[in-house]
Chains A and B, each alone.
Chain A
Amino acid sequence: MSTVSWITARGLFGRRRFLLLFPLPAVLVLLAVLSRALGVDPGEWGPPVLVGLGLAVVLPVVALIVGTGVLGAEIDDGTVVHILTKPLPRWQIVLPKLAVATGVTAVTVAVPLYVAGVLAHSVRLGLALAAAATLGALAYSALFLALSLLTRRPVLLGLVYVLIWEGLLGNFVSGTKVLSIQQYVIALADRIAPTGLLETTVSVPVAAIMTALVSVGFTVLAVDRLRSFSVAGETS
């Protein structure tokens, strides 16, 4: 484990906001278990729990908390200066942080999604959801990591993207779905395990290419922004 990822992981787990990660995945599993135990038809509870809660809320919100935490929190409290005053090419700082963010998000989200997928349909659906969510975790993490270098309010802007763009506009303006990581994840999961439970809106090639573009593009952007990192402009 590199020193940057070690410090990042220590910082992530050392902050209290880390505890925010657990309630949402717990609710996801709880709802799935309850629905299954009460004998509700998976066709009825599957879409709202798996997609409405799992892919539309749990995945992006966990990615937001973690993705803005790995670098944004250090920028906020100024400790990032310690890492930046080292003769490291900036990609050697961004990539380990992206890896930690993706890894933590993937583990936190993929496990409950797998459980819910198995309960709703099959092990195959569970694995498909877990795999697609991991790819989604990468794309979201790259986006939110870059956001924490582009704005002083990455959490707010990230929430606007998740809630307004993906959540609200996606229901009314079909064109926005092409720029929605959530839709890529759904399309990829449905491709791996076609069940009829997931309603796709973008084609699989579009989803695959866009996921890669978002991940790489925002990572490159983050590296470039970090090279030009300025300490907050106090005029004292």
Chain B
Amino acid sequence: MTTISADPAAPATPASTLDLAGVSRWYGNVVAVNNVSMSLGPGVTGLLGPNGAGKTTLLHMMAGFLAPSRGTVTLDGSPTWRNPDVYRRLGLVSEREAVHTFLTAYEFVLASAKLHRLPDPREAARRAIALVEMEGAQDRRIGTYSKGMRQRTRVAAALVHDPQVLLLDEPFNGMDPRQRLHMMDLLHRLGAAGRTILFSSHILEEVEQISGTVQVMVAGRLAASGDFRTIRRLMTNRPHVFAVRSTDDRALAVALMAEASVTGVELGRAGLTVRAGDYGAFTRALPRIALAQGIRVRQLVPEDESLESVFSYLVEA
């Protein structure tokens, strides 16, 4: 067993693969995960989907905390369910913010290292804490930490045995932008070093920034899978809908029709409904047009920005 090396570019053990074959999970009549197959190899993969899509259920099955109702989940060929040995190669950071608040971060990570029976638990704990930049607060009780600090402590505990596979459920929840960047960088480095990293998120931009590969879940099914840019392009080809209110809706509608990025304008009692082919071009053009016409825009609301609509579009595509 190796400890985390200061240089994550040098993986000590061969890469691991997590395989799901026809995995389903249901609770009574409710199907949470429906016939999902995927193979996760080295690198960072984002598990993307709206809340309630089955991401957490899928992660729990991957981590051996839930039996698949049908299908198999295997790590390098051995099942993860009822097999504690997989935790030699697997780390889990669950979404639920559960930590032993009466311990300090150092005690907590050290306990993890000891439970893993690492040869030098103190050194392993020190390195894992350094990796998440928690040295400064490591001797304070976890109960006194902010949400982001607890999250990093949990990541340190999950990384203490230098696992080949790391599963993270919504790891960016509750983190401030700096912590977020740091965590993204850490996942990047671990992925580049040949480790298999899977993290779930319901926020598109998070996934966009870290991972090239995504698995998109919608309503328990695997809706899309593969390179993020390809999937994103599918998403951007669809017109975006905005609700706009201004001091002179009719004049603004006329001016907007001349704009190339606008594909349609509807004039209603509550304002304009604008369809734009290019999200970025339209949002940049609108203030310019309004300024030129002497119209003041009072409201600009993207109407279908919710991930659910993006995903439902994906499913229909």
Q: Does B178 contact A (CB under 8 A)?
A: no
Known pairs A4-B115, A78-B98, A79-B99; A236 contacts B52 (CB<8 A): yes
Q: Are A236 and B51 in contact (CB under 8 A)?
A: yes
In the complex, what's the smallest C-beta–C-beta distance from A87 to chain B, in angstroms?
Answer: 5
Q: Are B98 and A77 in contact (CB under 8 A)?
A: yes
Q: Taking beta carbons and an 8 Å cutoff, which residues of A are in contact with B?
A: 3-4, 6-7, 10-11, 14, 77-79, 81-90, 227-231, 233-236
- State which residues 45-65 of B face A: CB under 8 Å: 51-52, 54-57, 60, 63, 65
Q: Which residues of the partner chain B approach A233 to less than 8 Å between Cβ atoms?
A: 27, 32, 57, 66
Known pairs A11-B102, A86-B84, A235-B32; A229 contacts B52 (CB<8 A): no
Number of B residues near A (Cβ < 8 Å) is 39
Q: Which of B66, B102, B108 contacts A14 (CB 8 A)?
A: B102
Q: Are B52 and A85 in contact (CB under 8 A)?
A: no
Task: Report how far A77 CA is from B98 CA in the complex, Å.
Answer: 6
Q: Which of A77, A87, A230 contacts B84 (CB 8 A)?
A: A87
Q: Which of A6, A79, A235 contacts B98 (CB 8 A)?
A: A79
Q: Which residues of the partner chain A approach B103 to less than 8 Å between Cβ atoms?
A: 7, 10
Q: Are B67 and A230 in contact (CB under 8 A)?
A: yes
In the complex, what's the smallest C-beta–C-beta distance from A3 to chain B, in angstroms?
Answer: 4
Task: Report how far A227 CA is from B117 CA in the complex, Å.
Answer: 20
The interface residues of chain B, by DSSP majority, are classed as mixed
Could you list some 8 contacts between A and B, CB below 8 A? Answer: A6-B111, A7-B111, A81-B96, A81-B98, A85-B87, A90-B84, A230-B67, A231-B66
Q: Which residues of the partner chain A approach B54 to less than 8 Å between Cβ atoms?
A: 235
Q: Which residues of the partner chain B approach A85 to less than 8 Å between Cβ atoms?
A: 63, 87, 90-92, 158
Q: Which residues of the partner chain A approach B158 to less than 8 Å between Cβ atoms?
A: 85
Tell me which of A14, A84, A89, A231 has the highest count of chain B C-beta atoms within 10 A of its own C-beta. A231
Task: Report how far A90 CA is from B55 CA in the complex, Å.
Answer: 27
In the complex, what's the smallest C-beta–C-beta distance from B235 to chain A, in angstroms?
Answer: 23
Tell me which of B63, B84, B92 has the highest count of chain A C-beta atoms within 10 A of its own C-beta. B84
Q: Does B88 contact A (CB under 8 A)?
A: yes
In the complex, what's the smallest C-beta–C-beta distance from B218 to chain A, in angstroms?
Answer: 13
- State which residues 22-81 of B face A: CB under 8 Å: 27, 30, 32, 51-52, 54-57, 60, 63, 65-67
Tell me which of B85, B87, B115 has the highest count of chain A C-beta atoms within 10 A of its own C-beta. B115
Q: Are A228 and B82 in contact (CB under 8 A)?
A: yes
In the complex, what's the smallest C-beta–C-beta distance from A8 to chain B, in angstroms?
Answer: 10
Query: Chain B: which residue is nearest A234 at the CB level?
Result: B56
Task: Report how far A90 CA is from B115 CA in the complex, Å.
Answer: 12
Given contacts A10-B103, A235-B30, 10 further A-B contacts (CB under 8 A): A10-B100, A14-B102, A79-B99, A81-B92, A85-B90, A87-B86, A88-B84, A230-B60, A230-B66, A235-B32
In the complex, what's the smallest C-beta–C-beta distance from B166 to chain A, in angstroms?
Answer: 11
Q: Are A86 and B87 in contact (CB under 8 A)?
A: yes
Task: Report how far A11 CA is from B102 CA in the complex, Å.
Answer: 7
Q: Are B85 and A87 in contact (CB under 8 A)?
A: yes
Q: Are A3 and B98 in contact (CB under 8 A)?
A: no
Q: Which residues of the partner chain B approach A6 to less than 8 Å between Cβ atoms?
A: 111
Task: Report how far A195 CA is from B158 CA in the complex, Å.
Answer: 57
Query: Chain B: which residue is nearest A81 at the CB level?
Result: B94
Query: Chain A: which residue is nearest B91 at the CB level?
Result: A85
Known pairs A86-B115, A236-B52; A229 contacts B98 (CB<8 A): no
Q: Which of B85, B112, B114 contacts A82 (CB 8 A)?
A: B112
Q: Which residues of the partner chain B approach A235 to less than 8 Å between Cβ atoms?
A: 27, 30, 32, 52, 54, 57
Task: Report how far A217 CA is from B115 CA in the complex, Å.
Answer: 26
Q: Which residues of the partner chain A approach B56 to less than 8 Å between Cβ atoms?
A: 234, 236
Q: Which of B65, B90, B102 contacts A229 (CB 8 A)?
A: B65
Query: Chain A: which residue is nearest B112 at the CB level?
Result: A82
In the complex, what's the smallest C-beta–C-beta distance from B37 to chain A, in angstroms?
Answer: 20
Q: Are A87 and B88 in contact (CB under 8 A)?
A: yes
Q: Does B157 contact A (CB under 8 A)?
A: yes
In the complex, what's the smallest C-beta–C-beta distance from A7 to chain B, in angstroms?
Answer: 6
Q: Which of A10, A77, A78, A231 contacts B60 (CB 8 A)?
A: A231
Known pairs A81-B94, A231-B94, A235-B52; A87 contacts B100 (CB<8 A): no
Query: Chain B: which residue is nearest A3 at the CB level?
Result: B114
Q: Are A230 and B65 in contact (CB under 8 A)?
A: yes
Q: Which residues of the partner chain A approach B94 to less than 8 Å between Cβ atoms?
A: 78, 81, 231
